[in-house]
Structure 1
Amino acid sequence: MTLEQRRQDLELRQMEAAVKAQEEETRAKQIANEKAELELIKERRKLQEEETD
């Protein structure tokens, strides 16, 4: 493997690692949003139950 090929291989690995990190960050944000949405649903139900009492 030539020096240029090794450089390109390293660059590719770095790019792949960056993409993977971005995917993980995106997934973490999705999970946080889903949790927040569930909390809103719970709060809405609680308020609706209080209105019917």
Structure 2
Amino acid sequence: MPHIPPPPCPLNSHAEWDPLEEVIIGNPEGVFAAFWDPLDRMVYFHRG
């Protein structure tokens, strides 16, 4: 399943758009693609 980037508009109730949250909520299969970069993976694990 190809990774589709989250839309530029917020889909949640947060005032700021959180790309990590949108990826996790909108496309769980795309999490690995979104966090493929080592820095992104580090941030993800620190948040998790």
TM-score range for the pair, normalised by the shorter chain length: under 0.3
**Higher CA-based Rg:** 1
Question: What TM-score comes out, normalization by structure 2 length?
Answer: 0.25
Identify the structure with the greater helix proportion.
Answer: 1
- Could you say which structure has the greater relative contact order, defined with CA pairs below 8 angstroms and 6 or more residues apart? 2
Question: What TM-score comes out, normalization by structure 1 length?
Answer: 0.23
